[in-house]
């Protein structure tokens, strides 16, 4: 799927043809925009290194980029919990355990970086 | 400076005049290469969002990019301590206090992201 | 309290009226044991400072304690998602949104430390 | 140095019988006080678990304790850089490289928790 749609007409979970779309689908263009800004920050870092900017100023910019990435991750995670995890809970059965374990592991990886 | 100089003749990009160069200068091209790889990871994230990849897999990739950024920051910091901070210590005077405080604040910002 | 119960009807402490019990209730004594170990680590840190142990060794022990706290937080979070959040999803209505937002904010606080 | 000297008679770096004292030595009682406060927070966490406090409130308290630990680590690190690392720089020779590498690894461990 190469949908670039961001909202509005976004086919929802239950519309028939639809195969799978995850929670974050509804904010796709917002996410891509956010990631492009982060990409720009990383290119800015390359310029800073190239122009011999003072180390501490580079580190400050690294902190800003890391924070932006974490914040993107948090939004994605929130949508994941709201959709995928909640859906599994509603469906019942064993899936909720698997989903929760998977989400917790992902959070653990974020914490450890 | 007790540089063990990696790039041998490595003067900076484009000049003879050269005013200041910081510790990380000696690994400039290595740093830029590392940052380009991170830039590639961020573009990969955009593709993943665009292609509706499963949220958890995107989060795993975010963790990898954050880790790569932190690891770049650590290397920069090590060079900063080895050169700028150590130089200030050798010079004596009040500068070392200022440099150490500045470095500690930068580390604090990295920890808090 | 040293309840080790894990089961189904899990009533709280001592009562029949039963008010609320949260997911982590089922692993209460395990959690308390884990926290006691962390408390011991913090007391160990005091001893290290008191006995003039080398700074770097103290920092290593701080990292271990922080990791232990994060790992406790992750387990608590997993139980919270499995019980409180999943329950809200099953009940339906607006509560799931509030629960997910609340959990995401808590994760954000953990990330930022 | 604006040491508020904790150990009163605390022998300093260069006084003969003295074996080793590290930078943080000068703030010893302050550090111990800080760690006692953290120990109190951890005991507070045990009470919270024992009294079935809401998971999210426990997580908030975990974040506060982790932040307090990180902040203790940062102060220790600052003193380490100011004393041990700066001393090695002044002495010259290979020790500064070893000290910087050691400090960087400690920072890396803090970042990864």
pLDDT tens string B30-84: 999 999 999 999 999 999 999 999 999 999 999 999 999 999 999 999 999 999 9
User: What is the ipTM for the molecules in this complex?
Assistant: 0.79
Chain C 50-109, CB below 8 Å of chain D: which residues? 50, 52, 54-56, 58-60, 62-63, 65-67, 69-70, 72-73, 76-77, 79-80, 84, 102-103, 106, 109
Angle at CA A77, nearest 5°, toward A75 and A83? 105
Q: How far is C63 from chain A (nearest CA, A)?
A: 11
Q: Which residues contact C67 (CB under 8 A, 6 or more apart)?
A: D113
Q: Could you say which of 1.20.58.1000, 1.10.357.10, 3.30.450.40, 3.20.20.70 is the CATH number of the domain covering A2-112?
A: 1.20.58.1000
SS3 content of chain A, % helix, strand, coil (to 5): 75, 0, 25
The tens digit of pLDDT for each residue in A36-92 reads 999 999 999 999 999 999 999 999 999 999 999 999 999 999 999 999 988 898 888
Name the residue with tokens 């001592």: C14
Q: Is A113 on the interface with D (CB under 8 A)?
A: yes
Over 50: is that where the pLDDT of C66 sits? yes
Write out the two tokens for A91: 């469906």
Write out the two tokens for A77: 């995670």
Q: How confident is the model at residue D5 (pLDDT cuts 50, 70, 90)?
A: very low
Q: How confident is the model at residue D25 (pLDDT cuts 50, 70, 90)?
A: low
SS3 (DSSP) at A11: coil
The per-residue b/e assignment along C95-107, b for 16 or more CB within 10 angstroms, e otherwise, is ebeebbebbbebb
Q: Which residues contact C10 (CB under 8 A, 6 or more apart)?
A: C21, C25, C26
Q: Is C113 on the interface with B (CB under 8 A)?
A: yes
Q: How confident is the model at residue C93 (pLDDT cuts 50, 70, 90)?
A: confident
Chain C 32-61, CB below 8 Å of chain B: which residues? none
The tens digit of pLDDT for each residue in D83-105 reads 898 889 888 888 999 999 999 99
From A42-51, B2-11, B96-105, the region with the lowest mean pLDDT: B2-11
Q: Are C112 and A63 in contact (CB under 8 A)?
A: no
Query: Looking at residue D56, what is its pLDDT?
Result: 97
Query: Looking at residue D33, what is its pLDDT?
Result: 96
- Domain positions in chain A are 2-112
Query: Looking at residue A93, what is its pLDDT?
Result: 81
User: Which has the higher per-residue pLDDT, A17 or C95?
Assistant: C95
């Amino acid at each position: 799927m190469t949908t670039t749609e961001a909202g509005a007409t976004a086919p929802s979970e239950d519309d028939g043809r639809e195969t799978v779309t995850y929670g974050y689908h509804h904010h796709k263009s917002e996410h891509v925009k956010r990631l492009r800004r982060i990409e720009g920050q990383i290119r800015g870092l390359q310029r800073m290194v190239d122009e011999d900017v003072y180390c501490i100023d580079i580190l400050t910019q690294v902190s800003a980029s890391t924070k932006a990435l974490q914040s993107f991750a948090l939004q994605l995670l929130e949508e994941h919990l709201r959709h995928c995890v909640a859906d599994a809970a509603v469906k019942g059965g064993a899936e909720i355990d698997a989903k929760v374990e998977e989400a917790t592991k992902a959070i653990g990886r974020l914490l450890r970086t």
